[in-house]
Structure 1
Amino acid sequence: MTRLVLLGPPGAGKGTQAARLAETLQVPAISTGDIFRANVREGTELGVTAKRYMDAGEYVPDSVTNAMVADRLSQPDAARGFLLDGYPRTAEQVVELDRVLAAQDAALDRVVEITADTDEVVTRILKRSAEQGRSDDTEDVVRRRLELYTEQTAPLSATYEQRGLLVRVDGMGAVDDVTARLLDAIGVPA
């Protein structure tokens, strides 16, 4: 059983690496960003609310995010483990994730922080925006998201480090090289 959280700034490669790790570990990759974007495309009430925050470069409120993640973690495919990408992002979300896992008599196995150079992150996101036409990826929004990451999410590293769960992995370089470093960090042969 594997329960992982991937931390790292927007554009660090979490989504790409989450998909690769999830396939190797045979657990679902659960991305709050993907769930929000799907709801935006479908025009759901959550999607309308999420889009307003995403377009401004702000995080979707914890109450919405926490409920969505709790529901997702209760689904059968997550019973054998999961990989969370983009959650938790705040101290309050850490508390909620702890509560949800405790109710399932479970705990995280590892928290992996993918590190990346800020200028490279901005370049990656702007390239992705051009390729995918994502309205939430303008340069001003990207810079705001990086500020929010530093303010709200980066401190989670210290929390998980104190718990002995954190491992940092360099997210720069070829995708295959980063994947190999991640697998090594969590103790899985590449």
Structure 2
Amino acid sequence: MLNLVIFGPPGAGKGTQSEKLIAQYGLHHISTGDMFRAHIKNETELGKKVNQIIADGNLVPDSITISMLEQEINEHQNAKGFIFDGFPRTVAQAEALDQFLESNGQPISTVLALDVSEEELTTRIAKRQEISGRADDAADKLKKRIEEYFSKTIHVLPYYEKQGKLNKIDGIGEIDEIFGNLSNVIDKHLVG
């Protein structure tokens, strides 16, 4: 089973690259953002809580996120593998994910980190806001999310680096070029 984690700050291209990786490797996409938006859209109790947390520009608590992920994984037992997009965001989340996956004999295979400058992120998200109108792309919330990534989430990378699973990929360039670089890392892992 191929289990990937794709990392990068908001606007790094995780969603775009995840779509291409899913098509190439037949993976099931697990995006915490998509799960949160689905709960919000369906106005579930969880969705109402998540909506307020996100509207305030904060991260959803680990307990909510992890239980949603476990449910999603359990519902797709026949998948060839999973790609985790937007999770884990903290070392505690990474440890919880490892523990859950390893208990099912499905550890993380490799971690892909998209490197993108803050200047490029701001430009990309401004464009995305024009197109999608996503509430989480508003300038003040965007700044908070980028700060959150660089102050907290980025600290998860050394956790995976110690495991020998971290691969940093330049996230600036043509989409297909970046995808090729990601695929090269995955293909080496599959052969190895």
TM-score by shorter chain over 0.5:
yes
Q: Is the 8 A contact 2:10 2:121 kept in 1?
A: yes
Mind listing any 5+ residue stretches in structure 2 that lack a counterpart?
none
Displacement, 1:154?
0.3
Where 2:30 maps in the other structure, the secondary structure is strand
Superposed, 1:15-164 pairs within 5 Å as 15-77=15-77, 79-164=79-164
**Residues in 2 aligned to 1:32 and 1:52: alpha-carbon distance in whole angstroms:** 16
Q: Is the 8 A contact 2:27 2:79 kept in 1?
A: no
Greater CA drift, 108-117 or 121-130? 121-130
User: What's the Cα RMSD here?
Assistant: 1.5
Q: Is the 8 A contact 1:169 1:185 kept in 2?
A: no
Displacement, 1:104?
0.3
**Residues in 2 aligned to 1:78 and 1:29: alpha-carbon distance in whole angstroms:** 13
Structure 1 length-normalised TM: 0.94
Displacement, 1:79?
4.2
Where 1:89 maps in the other structure, the secondary structure is coil
Specify the alignment match of 2:187 in structure 1: 187
**Residues in 1 aligned to 2:76 and 2:125: alpha-carbon distance in whole angstroms:** 33
Q: Is the 8 A contact 2:28 2:80 kept in 1?
A: no
**Residues in 2 aligned to 1:120 and 1:112: alpha-carbon distance in whole angstroms:** 19
Q: Is the 8 A contact 1:27 1:77 kept in 2?
A: no
**Residues in 1 aligned to 2:72 and 2:78: alpha-carbon distance in whole angstroms:** 8
Number of residue equivalences:
189
Q: Is the 8 A contact 1:28 1:78 kept in 2?
A: no
Opposite residue 140 of structure 1, the aligned amino acid is D
Mind listing any 5+ residue stretches in structure 1 that lack a counterpart?
none
Where 1:187 maps in the other structure, the secondary structure is helix
Opposite residue 50 of structure 2, the aligned amino acid is A
**Residues in 1 aligned to 2:41 and 2:126: alpha-carbon distance in whole angstroms:** 20
Q: State, as a whole percentage, how many aligned pairs show the same letter.
A: 38
Pairing 1:166–2:179 present: no
Where 2:136 maps in the other structure, the secondary structure is coil
Where 2:152 maps in the other structure, the secondary structure is helix
Opposite residue 29 of structure 1, the aligned amino acid is H
Q: Is the 8 A contact 1:28 1:83 kept in 2?
A: yes
**Residues in 1 aligned to 2:78 and 2:88: alpha-carbon distance in whole angstroms:** 16
Specify the alignment match of 1:13 in structure 2: 13
**Residues in 1 aligned to 2:125 and 2:57: alpha-carbon distance in whole angstroms:** 13
Where 1:9 maps in the other structure, the secondary structure is coil
Structure 2 length-normalised TM: 0.94
Q: Is the 8 A contact 1:29 1:83 kept in 2?
A: yes
Where 1:70 maps in the other structure, the secondary structure is helix
Alpha carbons of structure 1 residues 78 and 58: separation in structure 2 relative to 1, 3 Å:
farther
